Chains A and B, each alone.
Chain A
Amino acid sequence: MAETELSEKSQAHGAGRAHPGTKEYVRIGVILAVITAAEVATYYVQKDLGAWLRPILFSLSGLKFTLVVLWFMHLRFDSRLYSRFFLIGVCGAVTLYLIVLMTFRVFAR
């Protein structure tokens, strides 16, 4: 019952689908903790991972970022206009600063 009320009420501000319930949030929290543990584990096997270290770390970090934004910040459930606003900032920042880093040949070091 409480979950149903939550869904109805939480839908109110987003103009989208109902927000998830407590169990779903806890499940996402556990997944985030497991990914973080995997990230920390890479520190102890850096040499073994070699050239794979950076792609693995960026993938894990990107996965965590996406899970938090989609579930905890509700972008998966809210109006797409919010997503567009945020994506403009994220994509703008990534594009701008990748250009800066490439200009200074950071990736060639």
Chain B
Amino acid sequence: MAQAAVEHHGGGSEHATSTGLPSTKLAMWLFLASDCLFFGALITSYVLYRGASVQGPFPRDVFDIPYTSVSSFVLLGSSLTMVLAVAAAQRRDLGRMRIWLLATAMLGMTFVGGQVYEFTRFYNEGLSLSKNLFGSTFFVLTGFHGAHVAIGILMLLSLVSFSYADKLPEDAGFPVEMIGLYWHFVDIVWIVIFTVVYLIPTGNPGK
């Protein structure tokens, strides 16, 4: 009975589990839960130290809110294309799945490219990892987020290449959904970062 339940819920490729749910999906949610603590630590460090820098540049000197807002819209748009890829994969429409996966990867690359440009501009304006507490906490937090996005892009492109090589399982919806969960998580982390880091003003002279 448990096997039957898992075959129904796990696409037949999963082993029997006591919950009747695929262990891979439970493990993914557990990983995302642990990543909440990881990013929570980085965001907390930023909040603790952002107003404590004794020398500039301060956030007010370097942040370009309209530019970062466009990046936020791009990453948000990628979440929509990702969920459409999952929906296409679940109805076994491989053509549309590839299109949406590639669109998601392209939007992700646009976001990372924008972040690289932003980092370069900040560096040219005198902000570096070791310049002040704002620089240290800002680059570590947004850098780790960017690394997560980059890993997500690699996974998306791997999915597309597996799909063209006909190496995806018959039920392609499952692996696409797992990577989708990771991608959406990266998006919700950015939702928090955009508010806490960019939109909420600090109390120091640099704002």
Contact = CB atoms under 8 A, between A and B. Distances in A.
B123 to A, nearest CB: 24
Contacts, number: 157
A104 B195 CA distance: 21
B55 interface: no
Chain A interface bracket (under 10, 10 to 19, 20 to 34, 35 or more): 35 or more
A96 interface: yes
A22 B195 contact: no
B177 A61 contact: no
Nearest to A99: B44
Contact of A13 (B11, B41, B47): B11
B9 interface: yes
Given A9-B90, A43-B65, A85 B83 contact: no
Interface in A1-39: 2, 5-6, 9-10, 12-15, 19, 21-22, 25-26, 28-29, 32-33, 36, 39
B184 A72 contact: yes
Given A9-B173, A10-B90, A81 B195 contact: no
A54 to B, nearest CB: 6
B91 A92 contact: no
Contacts of A92: 33, 36-37
B69 A13 contact: no
Contacts of B173: 9-10, 12-13
Interface of A: 2, 5-6, 9-10, 12-15, 19, 21-22, 25-26, 28-29, 32-33, 36, 39-40, 42-43, 46, 53-54, 57-58, 60-61, 64-65, 68-69, 71-73, 79, 81-82, 85-86, 88-90, 92-94, 96-97, 100-101, 104, 106, 109
Question: Nearest 9 pairs between A and B by C-beta?
Answer: A89-B33, A93-B40, A29-B80, A89-B36, A61-B195, A85-B29, A97-B44, A10-B90, A93-B36
